[in-house]
Structure 1
Amino acid sequence: MHRRVVITGMGVVAPGGVGAKAFWELLTSGRTATRTISFFDPSPFRSQVAAECDFDPAACGLTPVQTARMDRAAQFAVVAAAEAVADAGLELAELDPYRLGTVVGSAVGATMSLEREYVIASQKGARWLVDNTHTSPHLYDYYVPGSFAAEVAWSVGAEGPAAVVSTGCTSGLDAVAYAAELIREGSADVVVGGATDAPISPITVACFDAIKATTPRNDDPAHASRPFDNSRNGFVLGEGSAMFVLEDFERARRRGAPVYAEIVGFASRCNAFHMTGLRPDGREMAEAIRSALDFAQLNPERIGYVNAHGSGTKQNDRHETAAVKLALKDHAYATPMSSIKSMVGHSLGAIGAIEVAACALAIVNGVVPPTANLHEPDPECDLDYVPLEARDRHLDAVLSVGSGFGGFQSAMLLARPEGGAR
């Protein structure tokens, strides 16, 4: 019999504040953390806004050696993992290290460090043949995304399964799902799992500029991310990390650990259609939702909230609206659905895990976070997107969905655990 999986610890590094508490306060206030890019001069680019994390490695407990060695995304993951472990009340010394696993999702790996090292080695692109003696001794770690899982494993003393999941913008959801599966199948008792990305760099901004996926609303950065709004014109790039302590339900109960939520269902599909395009009927995402509901043996009418992918592109928001209608039928119109990307931007592979954190906190606190900047709904997006203000609502089960380049569509279901949420 498969074991049940629960979330007992959470750590978040997100735009607007470091830590799960600061993250939740931002979401429920409806404030936005989007602003003009400060990491480099954005003036040559079409889109010049992003949701940056105000992150000080030293203040977050990282040593100078760790800071010098690790890419920014790895730093996020290690800091978030430390918060999650402390939050769960885990005594790492008492755990069997071979039964402790790590899973980290990331879409673009060590982008910032790789670009920095290339600029140095190539003399800002002037040299085609580069001299590796000019680069950091940690360049190999930046090149291999598996280093993220290794860094988290070293930080918590995990010697069990370790993996990186990279499936574009569904990486966060898929990584949490894989971490849960390691427990469900008996390969681990505890997994520190989640996702991280720090993609706000010239190369990433240029790539999204080229396909006009990001917003050019540079004159109003705080209101640039507008999911489901009729005036939306692209997403806002973000960064961050969310890491969780996942445990077997019986183990968590034996040690008296407070539980945020139970992961009761997950499914993923690929549309096999187009690298960036989406079919308007949302069929593949709807199929992922239905499959996740079947796995959880959950009636769709129990879903009290849908955490939308809600990127703020015309195509995605309409596709996702159609998918939720197709999967939930009439119940879709009675279910609040919101996008936190309106406040914290789109952190690519990390956002799915950050959205899982939002879902778990929504269950615990009985609050649905809003969609900021939603003033004029797109007529083709006709569901309840919780505009502008958070809403009190008792939640037994929530659905989080993700959509990624390559045609990936993922759906995860979280439920209130037995005895009530943390």
Structure 2
Amino acid sequence: MTAAFGSRRVVVTGIGVVAPGGVGTKQFWQMLTDGRTATRAITSFDASRFRSRIAAEIDFDAVACGLSQRQIRKWDRTTQFAVVATREALEDSGILGESVPERTGVMVGTACGATTSLDREYAIVSDEGSTWLVDESHASPYLYDYYVPSSMAAEVAWLADAQGPVGIVSTGCTSGIDVLGHAMDQILDGSADVMVAGASDASISPITVACFDAIKATSARNDDPTTASRPFDATRDGFVLGEGAAMFVLEEAEHARRRGARVYAELAGSANRCNAYSMTGLRPDGLEMADAISAAMVRARLDPADVDYVNAHGSATKQNDRHETGAFKRSLGHHAYRVPISSIKSMIGHSLGAICALEAAACVLAVEHSVVPPTANLHNPDPECDLDYVPNIARELPVNTVVSVASGFGGFQSALVVTKPGWRA
């Protein structure tokens, strides 16, 4: 997906995070390195009728995060997360007022868009589903904004004063990586010098919980929610739903150098594949994920032995964890047995389209701090998942190159390569 354009390279100069366990990048990273979990019984609605009644919710105070009452009424929770994360990323980068608007773009990823607001509005305009109400006064005046996911990208663009390329990426659970790949392309092909990019989802709602209940993809460990998400563990029984957002300021490297920006990391390559096989099933050999990893590394001009850390999709479903293990062995060869691998979904749940952006933030911070976050709740490794999945305790080690992967319903497989600034030739 990503190809070099002359000598242009893409670096990260700002990060913003809204995640379970705390709002802000510092809180997010502290929680991950502490190995703490943010999963609990669902509090945002009565989940007693569902099979899975747990999630990784965010205690989000929109007013404390600087949103006005009008913004809170107008924006779905997903957009609120995206805007708050974008503000942090812009402030972190120091780019506000320094960039040329027409050379700045926005790319936002989401799997489900304004699910919570649409769920609420459907109940209102259909009288709790019994009959359609024709009086338009029943519906929110912002219903159209909820219905069209591009409204979130527009809000972010207005905040960033971005008049360049703007778009939405929605490829399910790989959206958070794919959106960064598309944003990289805009910079690499010369269409923009700066891209504000990331992903947001706030889908802890009855309709979403019902969707995953129907296919038994989520954990039913309702009596012990803090340990329910246990990727690569022999006792895993599904993922835990989450929510959140991560936004980045991406810049062409020379543009960042000229303005004296702090550079966290370089986004060195990305790729995606589809298995064209099943909406929910995965081939056990991990071929398509392995192909995505190999293609991303080729674009980054790296060999398997260069990889210091792999951020796994690690959803804690039986088939996904086996599929990933196979993909790592296929793409990294013998190095797969030496490289540390971990899944932060064990701590913050699976926030669908947003999770890969949050994982990308964890990868950038791993490079920045030379720390690999752990896989929480991993006490009884599955014999079929026989790689180094960094159980329970963070690990300090030099991190120059990270591969982050994602797997989504529909057979989507994506990979992203993050490197230390200046590390590649």
Name the structure 2 match of 1:93.
97
Q: TM-score normalised to the size of structure 2?
A: 0.97
Given that 2:400 and 2:423 are in contact with CA atoms closer than 8 Å, whether structure 1 keeps it comes out as: no
Q: Which runs of 4+ in 1 moved over 3 A?
A: 128-133
Q: Equivalences for 1:96-107 in 2 at 5 Å?
A: 96-107=100-111
Name the structure 2 match of 1:226.
230
State yes or no: 1:51 paired with 2:52.
no
Deviation at 1:2, TM superposition (A): 4.9
State yes or no: 1:109 paired with 2:113.
yes
Question: Structure 1, residues 4-55: CA drift from partner, whole Å, max 9, x if none?
Answer: 0000000000000000000000000000000000000110000000000111
Number of equivalenced pairs: 419
Q: Equivalences for 1:109-128 in 2 at 5 Å?
A: 109-128=113-132
State yes or no: 1:361 paired with 2:375.
no
Q: Matched residues in 2 for 1:156 and 1:263: separation?
A: 21
- Structure 1 SS opposite 2:91: helix
Name the structure 2 match of 1:66.
71
Deviation at 1:125, TM superposition (A): 1.0
Given that 1:122 and 1:130 are in contact with CA atoms closer than 8 Å, whether structure 2 keeps it comes out as: no
Given that 1:2 and 1:185 are in contact with CA atoms closer than 8 Å, whether structure 2 keeps it comes out as: no
Given that 1:228 and 1:312 are in contact with CA atoms closer than 8 Å, whether structure 2 keeps it comes out as: yes
Question: Structure 1, residues 228-271: CA drift from partner, whole Å, max 9, x if none?
Answer: 00000000000000000000001111111111110111100000
Question: Structure 1, residues 354-399: CA drift from partner, whole Å, max 9, x if none?
Answer: 0000000000000000000000000100000000000001011000
Deviation at 1:131, TM superposition (A): 4.6
Q: Out of 20, 38, 56, which is 2:25 matched to?
A: 20
- Structure 2 SS opposite 1:8: strand
Deviation at 1:93, TM superposition (A): 2.5
Name the structure 2 match of 1:82.
87
Q: Matched residues in 2 for 1:195 and 1:180: separation?
A: 14
Given that 2:297 and 2:303 are in contact with CA atoms closer than 8 Å, whether structure 1 keeps it comes out as: yes
Q: Matched residues in 2 for 1:142 and 1:25: separation?
A: 33
Name the structure 2 match of 1:3.
8
Q: Matched residues in 1 for 2:395 and 2:141: separation?
A: 50
Q: Matched residues in 2 for 1:341 and 1:166: separation?
A: 20
Q: Matched residues in 2 for 1:394 and 1:33: separation?
A: 27
Q: Out of 238, 258, 271, which is 1:254 matched to?
A: 258
State yes or no: 1:168 paired with 2:172.
yes
Name the structure 2 match of 1:181.
185
Q: Equivalences for 1:409-420 in 2 at 5 Å?
A: 409-418=413-422
Q: Matched residues in 2 for 1:220 and 1:188: separation?
A: 47
Question: Structure 1: any 5+ residue segments left out of the alignment?
Answer: none
Q: Matched residues in 2 for 1:233 and 1:261: separation?
A: 35
Q: TM-score normalised to the size of structure 1?
A: 0.98
State yes or no: 1:200 paired with 2:220.
no
Deviation at 1:191, TM superposition (A): 0.7
Q: Equivalences for 1:302-317 in 2 at 5 Å?
A: 302-317=306-321
Given that 1:292 and 1:413 are in contact with CA atoms closer than 8 Å, whether structure 2 keeps it comes out as: yes
- Structure 1 SS opposite 2:81: helix
Question: Structure 1, residues 180-226: CA drift from partner, whole Å, max 9, x if none?
Answer: 11111111111110000000000000010000000110000100101
Name the structure 1 match of 2:39.
34
Alpha-carbon RMSD across the aligned residues, in angstroms, is: 1.1
Q: Matched residues in 1 for 2:333 and 2:300: separation?
A: 18
Question: Structure 2: any 5+ residue segments left out of the alignment?
Answer: 1-5
State yes or no: 1:385 paired with 2:392.
no
Question: Structure 1, residues 56-91: CA drift from partner, whole Å, max 9, x if none?
Answer: 11101111111110000000000000000000111x
Q: Matched residues in 2 for 1:61 and 1:128: separation?
A: 36
**TM-aligned CA distance change 1:79 to 1:333, over 3 Å:** same
- Structure 2 SS opposite 1:263: strand
Name the structure 1 match of 2:3.
none
Q: Matched residues in 2 for 1:140 and 1:116: separation?
A: 14
Q: Matched residues in 1 for 2:180 and 2:61: separation?
A: 26
What is the identity, as a one-letter code, of the residue corresponding to 2:220? Answer: P
What is the identity, as a one-letter code, of the residue corresponding to 1:235? Answer: F
- Structure 2 SS opposite 1:94: coil
Deviation at 1:96, TM superposition (A): 1.4
Deviation at 1:95, TM superposition (A): 2.0
Given that 2:366 and 2:372 are in contact with CA atoms closer than 8 Å, whether structure 1 keeps it comes out as: yes
Q: Out of 133, 136, 143, which is 1:139 matched to?
A: 143
Q: Matched residues in 2 for 1:131 and 1:387: separation?
A: 56
Question: Equivalent pairs: percent with the same residue?
Answer: 65
